[in-house]
């Protein structure tokens, strides 16, 4: 039986639950009784909600490059760039 990891977005309660794959996902949080549970990882399900890794790293790589290309305007007394 797969173990499912749940996170309550309402109160932040996190726990694991043994479930059969046919029983469906839980909705109700045992702590705050709200229907705010989110299933994080299905050990046997194959669906991971944390996001695909390649996309995350690709996005992270692009971030610093943009920062480098961004020109810094120095406050210099000599020249003032003409822009409109
Ligand atoms: Zn909760």
* pTM of the model as a whole: 0.46
Which residues lie at CB < 5 A from ion ligand 1? 8, 10-11, 13, 29, 31-32
Radius of gyration of the chain from its Cα atoms, rounded to whole angstroms: 24
CA 52 to each of CA 4, 11, 25: distance values in angstroms, whole numbers, following the listed order: 19, 26, 21
pLDDT score recorded for residue 10: 96
The domain segmentation of the chain, as residue ranges, is: 1-43
Count of Cβ atoms closer than 10 Å to residue 38 Cβ: 16
Per-residue pLDDT of the chain (84 residues; tens, 9 = 90+): 678 889 999 999 999 988 887 878 899 999 999 999 998 865 445 444 555 554 544 555 555 555 566 666 777 677 777 777
**How many angstroms is it from 48 CA to the middle of ligand 1?**
21
For the domain 1-43, what is the CATH code? 2.20.28.10
How far apart (Å, rounded) are the C-alpha atoms in residues 50 and 40?
Answer: 7
**How many angstroms is it from 14 CA to the middle of ligand 1?**
8
How far apart (Å, rounded) are the C-alpha atoms in residues 19 and 4?
Answer: 7
How far apart (Å, rounded) are the C-alpha atoms in residues 19 and 12?
Answer: 21
């Amino acid at each position: 039986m797969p173990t499912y990891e749940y996170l309550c977005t309402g109160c932040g309660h996190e726990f694991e639950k043994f479930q059969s794959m046919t029983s469906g996902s839980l909705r109700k949080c045992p702590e705050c009784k709200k229907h705010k549970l989110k299933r994080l990882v299905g050990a046997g399900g194959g669906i991971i909600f944390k996001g695909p890794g390649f996309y995350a790293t690709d996005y992270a790589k692009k971030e610093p490059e943009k920062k480098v290309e961004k020109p810094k305007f120095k406050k210099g007394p000599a020249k003032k760039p003409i822009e409109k």
